[in-house]
Structure 1
């Protein structure tokens, strides 16, 4: 789906390990990779003059991980000093990155309020999709497992859809990514419609299952025209529980999600299925900001 990735690591998130798997990432469709480490400064302080030695050590650490870089892929290592979210935004624009990789731990609502989140700040300010991986999992993968993971991240997506504006936007973004990328490796999409068991029956219409199937059949035809294998699932239950259960059952590479309104993603007290997925999913999450 993507060709130019900005892969960010602070060396505590295990994302640096991806530098060992450039051939697998190339097999996943990438033509350009930028590995970025940010040397942070304390909040409220001006950015100090860059210390060459302080920047060189992480650069050498990343360089040592690069192995057998294919000739058809450009790889860059960039180490800067500053505030992470600002540096990432600047580099994504500079390198024209079409996806940003982040290692983001699962968090509760309270933790997010207390400690903030680089991911949340980026989602507020960028239109570039974010591929979010869980450091706890990346750190435990064997070399063989991570090699496969890098190759298959974008081959099979679970796409939650409920007919809302956010769902329609998500489909449009996936459609655009595949159509505009001749080297897209996306092979399969599973459309999942969860009829929320907590919504009053009279608000769901006379035949919610039938109505959902009709809409999914139409989407299935549209996506199949892109040479994708498209499966559909309709279930009744708790949306977040059914999404995570489906991701586990069908061995997807990532869960796709889209924010209907970026202006509110940091308002963690407001209910949002997307925020629940971003906070709690152990599966990789491909997040499309609006």
Structure 2
């Protein structure tokens, strides 16, 4: 799966707790883990400068909490001063990270439009997958629960599907991960196609449930070739509501999505499925940014 991972924490998101669970993360296939904290620039003077005192404090805080790591796992700590997104991109490039883990507070669309967000900025500046964890959830796990969560971060994925370019790209990314993994870290996935219910009889559905089911069966057969256990389901109703319900009943580790609009101008005009899911989901969301080119 993902061997080189960058974990970003601002100490309010609960992700700094993961320093205690390096051994468990290793069981999810990680070989290199970089813990990153971005310190805002000191701006009380005329020229902004690095806040050396807070950098030292954060460095000490992370260093002291990293436990004894397995010999085959490289653990690095990076504390830098500046704009978070710029620092994340730079550090990810330095270590050739394959996955970026970060927290995301639950926000309204209006709040996100006004203040932006690290996730939104990163989503259209990098092609590295992002695993977004809800801070309130990570913070309330017991150590025993978090141990299991870290071991099985990617074991079972829910893939929302609707035959769009983004959905097909998502399926290909998951297939590629399954092909490349050295062990069965990703074991199963569930494909779920939600047919939007307009509530108006005079408006016929563009895709019938039988057609959606047939398409999902073809994708299932393709994914089973890379040693994945695959289930399919067709639902009707509001997309986000139905996907979250499917996640609850399917016992999944994370919801995987892709989108080409998060963080872009389109988001100011209409909320995409992926962005709405990120705001509403308590489940981890594995986001695949679209390829640039």
**Unaligned regions of 5+ residues in structure 2, if any?**
none
Q: Scaled by the length of structure 2, what TM-score is found?
A: 0.92
Q: How many residues are treated as equivalent by the alignment?
A: 287
Matches within 5 A, 1:28-177: 28-41=28-41, 47-49=48-50, 51=52, 53-177=53-177
TM-score, with structure 1 as normaliser: 0.93
**Is the Cα contact below 8 Å between 2:40 and 2:51 reproduced in 1?**
no
What SS class does the counterpart of residue 139 from structure 1 fall into? helix
Indicate conservation of the 8 Å contact 1:4/1:31, yes or no: yes
Given that 1:259 and 1:265 are in contact with CA atoms closer than 8 Å, whether structure 2 keeps it comes out as no
Where do residues 3-22 of structure 1 align in structure 2 (5 Å cutoff)?
A: 3-22=3-22
The 5-angstrom pairing of residues 183-262 of structure 1 reads 183=183, 185-198=185-198, 201-205=203-207, 208-261=208-261
2:163 alignment partner, SS class: coil
User: Structure 2: how far apart are the matches of 1:121 and 1:226?
Assistant: 33
Matched residue SS, 1:175: helix
Cα root mean square deviation, aligned: 1.9
Q: 1:232 Cα shift?
A: 0.6
Task: Report the CA distance shift for 1:35/1:231 in structure 2 as closer, same or farther (over 3 A).
Answer: same
Match of residue 280 from structure 2: 280
Greater alpha carbon shift after TM alignment, 39-48 vs 66-75: 39-48
Using the TM superposition, name which of 133-142 and 255-264 deviates more: 255-264
C-alpha separation between the residues in 1 aligned to 2:14 and 2:266?
25
2:282 alignment partner, SS class: coil
Post-superposition Cα deviations, 1:89-111, rounded to whole Å, max 9, x if no partner, equal 01111111011000111110111
Residues of 1 paired with 2:113 and 2:261: CA distance? 19
Please state how far the C-alpha of 1:220 moved relative to its aligned partner.
0.6
Deviates more, 1:57-66 or 1:128-137: 57-66
